[in-house]
Structure 1
Amino acid sequence: MSEPSAPPVPALPALRRQALRHHLLTEVRRPSRRRWRVRVLVPVAGALVVAVAAGVIAQPWAPRSAPMVVPVEQGDRVGATLLLNRMAVVTADRPGPPSGEGAYVYIRSRGAFAELGDGPARLRPVHEREIWIPRDERGDGLLRQPFLHVPIVGAIPEHETLTDVTPNAALIDLPDDPDALLATLYREREERGRGNSRDGAAFTAIGDILRESLVPPRTSAALYRAAAKIPGVEVVRGVTDAAGRQGIAVAHTERSRRDEWIFDERTFDYLGERSYLVADTVDGPAGTVLGTTAVLQRAVVAQLGRRPQR
């Protein structure tokens, strides 16, 4: 069963802005020279953004963990097309997302992201993240995650209300035809005129949808078929997510960085993401991990802030 259709909305600019709003201050997009960069396009609570950015740059209480380095395996480009189209076929035959009268989509995940700018990139401690997204109509959402290990009273709360949130139904209101979907992604990149290449931007946009939306089978199948058409997409095997689950990854490399979507190799369930360097840079040697995540639970709940049974 697919999500109810939403009122007409601008296709990708709104989708992209909302996905990055949901992802508030959680991932460094790519290595840079002596600058700490976060993936944010739309500020949510500007004072919070400033406080967190300042806190992350200098955290005397943060553990100085060693950089995490993984092997840089050879990707398989031919296998990526075969795998993604196979995933689309399998996914299209599955039942839809949880039905019911719940007004919010709930997603619980785990992740760790690197600090850049002072020697080799080091992962911050893994933390859990919960987000509540309006299901059918625009409204408030909620984000819960510990930003720092030592709280700064009045500056950095562990939960933040997200205002005027694009509903899940609008985020997944995409063309079923993979060529039309990919053309929409490319057009959004051209309109924005900055950031990744159009192929890298399309890969990132699809990853944003997979990560923090409740996606019906028809949309998932279209996303996988569209991803199969992105030049440079590869398959990488033997990948582990932030929860320690092994899977197979669909990957794209740009500017010395490889981004991966991780799936269960048997069921093709989405597990999480991983990003790391594929070449030596000022931020570390090839294989240095910049981010790792795992989606632990997706559900529909009746009230903002209510948790489903685990």
Structure 2
Amino acid sequence: MSEPSAPHVPAIAAVRRQALRHHLINEVARPVRRRRRMLVLAPVAGVLATAVAAGAIAQPWAPNSAPLIVAVEQGEHAGAILFLHRMAAATAEKPGPGEGEYVYIKSRVAFAEFGDGPARLQPVHEREIWIPRYEQGDGLLRQPFFDLPIIGAIPEQTTLTDVTPNAEIVDLPSDPDELLARLYRERDERGWGNSRDGAAFTAIGDILRESLVTPQTSAVLYRAAAKIPGVELIREVTDAAGRRGVAVGYTELNRRDEWIFDERTYEYLGARSYLVADTADGPAGTVLATTAVLRRAVVPKLGQRP
């Protein structure tokens, strides 16, 4: 199901789309590994070069960051199915996006570092991204990468080349059974990673998080998610901006990934990942990632804000 008024773009496998967009969403998809402490002894210039190349640097806990530990609540499978179908029915009636050549998404995000002890959440920071809407081309990413005591926060603007267009990302089957079957098939062909159900949940979450989809496509995604065994509804959840909502989650390998929604308007608020059991990376409830979408729109020019 493509965006209205978009020229035809040949569909490609979801796994290929994700590979092409890995440089856009790598922070969300994979938490940062903490560097060995010996880097602190390197000259400042060397630390800067290494940090810029990696896109992140170890940082202490910040007071305004999302909680390091959250309560692990019992999920409701039946509640998740009901909520997803209710959202699908309500979302399909909403108006579609306007016209514009780029998709603009502003969010607040924080990701965990691993190594040298339990996972530690980095400070929450703002992230802005511009994605070509209809044709492959340049995109743009703006976010602060790190904070050093001598220099302070370093704003970073990165041009993203050969970005897969939004229209291709959201070119999906209009039938939820067909969509889910495709996601399962792609996981089987890949032969590694999460289980079939976990891979399908992750793929849908990637589309919800950093793409612009029509209301009709959102409805199909919700109905497909409702068919995934093990989806759960978790109540009283908070996103990275402090907004309260309810979450649809999936748990695998001691980790729960959640999509957070406004319970009244069904607006997608953000996402959260955390441990549900004690592991070497931390106790149950350790937050691995937290995000909040602040604005999602279309704009006429690269770098222009709505």
When residues 55 and 163 of structure 1 are mapped into structure 2, their CA distance, relative to the original with a 3 A threshold, is: closer
With the length of structure 2 as denominator, give the TM-score of the two structures.
Answer: 0.86
Partner of 2:146: 148
Q: Deviation at 1:142? A: 0.8
Kindly indicate whether residue 22 of structure 2 is the aligned counterpart of residue 20 of structure 1: yes
- 1:63 counterpart (60, 71, 81): 60
Partner of 1:96: 96
Q: Distance in 2 between matches of 1:260 and 1:205?
A: 13
Q: Distance in 2 between matches of 1:140 and 1:291?
A: 27
Partner of 1:79: 79
Q: Distance in 1 between matches of 2:53 and 2:27?
A: 8
In the alignment, residue 23 of structure 2 is paired with which amino acid? R
- 2:184 counterpart (178, 183, 186): 186
SS in 1 for 2:144: coil
The CA RMSD measured in Å over matched residues stands at: 2.6
Q: Deviation at 1:268? A: 0.4
In the alignment, residue 85 of structure 1 is paired with which amino acid? H
* Pairing 1:208-227 to 2, within 5 Å after superposition: 208-227=206-225
SS in 1 for 2:186: helix
Contact kept, 8 Å, 1:234 with 1:251, in 2: the verdict is: yes
Partner of 1:7: 9
Partner of 2:235: 237
Q: Distance in 2 between matches of 1:307 and 1:55?
A: 23
**Greater alpha carbon shift after TM alignment, 205-214 vs 67-76:** 67-76
- Percent identity, aligned pairs only? 67
Contact kept, 8 Å, 1:27 with 1:113, in 2: the verdict is: no
Q: Deviation at 1:171? A: 0.7
Contact kept, 8 Å, 1:5 with 1:170, in 2: the verdict is: no
When residues 5 and 197 of structure 1 are mapped into structure 2, their CA distance, relative to the original with a 3 A threshold, is: farther
SS in 2 for 1:181: helix
Unaligned runs of at least 5 residues, structure 1: 38-47
Partner of 1:41: none
* Pairing 1:1-310 to 2, within 5 Å after superposition: 2-3=3-4, 4-28=6-30, 51-52=51-52, 56=56, 59=58, 62-64=59-61, 68-97=68-97, 99-100=98-99, 102-150=100-148, 158-308=156-306
Q: Distance in 2 between matches of 1:36 and 1:255?
A: 21
Q: Deviation at 1:56? A: 4.5
SS in 2 for 1:227: helix
- For 1:51-87, what per-residue CA distance to the aligned partner results, in whole angstroms no more than 9, with x for missing partners? 5576756x4xx22459711110000001111111111
In the alignment, residue 264 of structure 1 is paired with which amino acid? D
Q: Distance in 2 between matches of 1:49 and 1:73?
A: 42
Q: Distance in 2 between matches of 1:81 and 1:274?
A: 19
When residues 196 and 286 of structure 1 are mapped into structure 2, their CA distance, relative to the original with a 3 A threshold, is: same
In the alignment, residue 17 of structure 1 is paired with which amino acid? A
Q: Deviation at 1:136? A: 0.7
Contact kept, 8 Å, 1:6 with 1:173, in 2: the verdict is: no
Q: Deviation at 1:104? A: 0.5
Q: Deviation at 1:159? A: 1.5
Contact kept, 8 Å, 1:19 with 1:212, in 2: the verdict is: no
Q: Distance in 2 between matches of 1:244 and 1:19?
A: 28
Q: Deviation at 1:26? A: 4.2
Q: Distance in 1 between matches of 2:52 and 2:255?
A: 25
Q: Which has the higher strand share?
A: 2
Q: Deviation at 1:175? A: 0.3
Q: Distance in 2 between matches of 1:36 and 1:63?
A: 11
**Greater alpha carbon shift after TM alignment, 5-14 vs 242-251:** 5-14
Q: Distance in 1 between matches of 2:53 and 2:248?
A: 31
- For 1:194-238, what per-residue CA distance to the aligned partner results, in whole angstroms no more than 9, with x for missing partners? 111111111111011001111101110100000001111000000
Q: Deviation at 1:20? A: 2.8
In the alignment, residue 10 of structure 1 is paired with which amino acid? I
SS in 2 for 1:183: helix
Q: Distance in 1 between matches of 2:30 and 2:233?
A: 23
Aligned length: 287
Q: Distance in 2 between matches of 1:186 and 1:286?
A: 29
